[in-house]
Amino acid sequence: MADRSLTYVRTEMAEALPPPKSTTGISAWMRENLFSSPANSLLTIVGLALIIWLAIPIWNFLVADAVFSDPEGLRGEACRFEGVGACWIFIQARFSFFIYGFYPPEEIWRINLMFLIGVILMIPLLAPRAPFTRTAAVLFFLVFPFVAFFLMAGGILSLESVPTNRWGGLTLTLIISLIGIIVSMPVGILLALGRQSRLPVIKGFCIAFIELWRAVPLITVLFMASVMFPLFTPQGMQPDVLLRAIIGICLFESAYMAEVVRGGLQAIPRGQSEASFALGLSKPKTVALITLPQALKHVIPGIVNTFIALFKDTSLVSIIGIFELLNTVRAASSDIAWQFPTDAVTGYIFAGFVFWLFCFGMSRYSIYMENRLHTGHRR
């Protein structure tokens, strides 16, 4: 409107055009994101230098100076020299110990069978729109725990009995965290709902429970479970130390989960439950069909965050003498036969990598779930 006239009527409609060329392509991307200004260019160069400066020693340790094989069989001597990097034959030699702990080697097929059943049942639960979801859910949550327990513990059907102090390694880490996840989720939801209850007794109990468990460090909970608990129970009546630790973790994580879920419930506008009531739905149905599904969807990142923290926290049970993954790694690297300069570092790198792998997997899965459940912008 160059003529500064106040009236204007469009006579031709503007066509939709493709975007200008310069904003696409690799060189354009680099120009725009890495070298858009002198300061940005400088930062890019400094960043690049930093990466190279860090990458070289890491590369040397993990690959160049590392020991990948031992022609004379897997022996500690092969890594016993000055300037050795990571000793991968150590991981190779003790791999089975890291995965299965002290479980009798000839019974390891039972663990593998358990994992196989677990994975097969989890596929329809985790994959979208897979068939048999309902059947798989029933089997996984109601039947699988018993099957897994009897496979692990034995003592029936001519399976040799394996006491829990021989369970260990990654197997035990996964068992503890899976039980923690499966128990803390529903208990946490119940606590969160109870905390919003109008009945003072229920509300008070839930608040007290949550605040008590949240205020105590997990290490303290585990020490209480292993040391204090036996003091109050009669001799011979004490439940297994692993069971006590798992119960402690479940209660602890339930309190955290409750607060995550409560955050989600609070984000749901009151109009949602009012609309549901106005349609004639009862309070329990309103919670189950309207508020809770929305609340859980909102807090998927928080839920998965709690799961990831739980998974890593399982390593704390090592302080009460339970041989989960980290403790088997520690035990293996202090083995006399495997004394070499980098024994601890190699072991911890391996353990760290395994933890990272599982946590990263959970994190990616949660992002995928969020996108799948996204149903358009809220108004």
Partner 1 sequence: MTTAMEAPQADRSRMAVSETDVAVEIIGMNKWFADFHVLRDINLKVMNGERIVIAGPSGSGKSTLIRCINRLEEHQDGQIIVDGVELTNDLKRIDEVRREVGMVFQHFNLFPHLTILQNLTLAPIWVRGTPKAEAEESAMKYLERVKIPEQANKYPGQLSGGQQQRVAIARSLCMNPKIMLFDEPTSALDPEMIKEVLDVMVKLAEDGMTMICVTHEMGFARQVANRVIFMDQGQIIEQNEPEEFFSNPQHERTKLFLSQILH
* Of residues 139 and 373, the one with the C-beta less far from partner 1: 373
* Of residues 202 and 354, the one with the C-beta less far from partner 1: 202
DSSP string, 123-170: HHHHSTT-TTHHHHHHIIIIIHHHHHHHHHH--STTPPP--GGG--HH
For residue 378, the tally of other CB atoms under 10 A from its CB is 6
Of 106-135, binders to partner 1 (CB under 8 A) are: none
Residue 371 C-beta: closest distance to partner 1, Å: 14
User: Looking at the DSSP assignment, which residues form a beta bridge with residue 67?
Assistant: 87
Residue 297 C-beta: closest distance to partner 1, Å: 6
Q: Interacting stretch for partner 1, rule CB under 8 A, among 86-94, 223-231, 280-288, 333-341? A: 280-288
- Asked whether position 166 contacts partner 1 by CB under 8 A, the answer is no
- Asked whether position 337 contacts partner 1 by CB under 8 A, the answer is no
Residue 373 C-beta: closest distance to partner 1, Å: 8
Q: Interacting stretch for partner 1, rule CB under 8 A, among 129-137, 139-147, 291-299, 300-308? A: 291-299
87 phi and psi angles, rounded to 5 deg: -105, 85
- Asked whether position 278 contacts partner 1 by CB under 8 A, the answer is yes
* Of residues 117 and 373, the one with the C-beta less far from partner 1: 373
- Asked whether position 297 contacts partner 1 by CB under 8 A, the answer is yes
Among 177, 184, 254, 294, binds partner 1 (CB under 8 A): 294
With a CB cutoff of 8 Å and minimum separation 6, the contacts of 322 are 168, 172, 241, 242, 245
Number of residues assigned to the chain: 379
- Asked whether position 379 contacts partner 1 by CB under 8 A, the answer is yes
Nearest to 179 by CA among 209, 137, 215, 144: 144
Q: Interacting stretch for partner 1, rule CB under 8 A, among 146-154, 237-245, 290-298, 340-348? A: 290-298
Nearest to 292 by CA among 342, 322, 258: 258
CA distance 60 to 66: 7
Among 206, 290, 304, 317, binds partner 1 (CB under 8 A): 290
Please answer whether residues 266 and 242 qualify as being in contact, where contact means their C-beta atoms are separated by less than 8 angstroms: no
The contact pattern for partner 1, residues 255-274, with x = CB under 8 A and - = no contact, is: --------------x-xx-x
Nearest to 368 by CA among 293, 292, 301, 291: 301
Site residues, partner 1 (CB under 8 A): 269, 271-272, 274-282, 285, 289-290, 293-294, 297, 373, 375-379
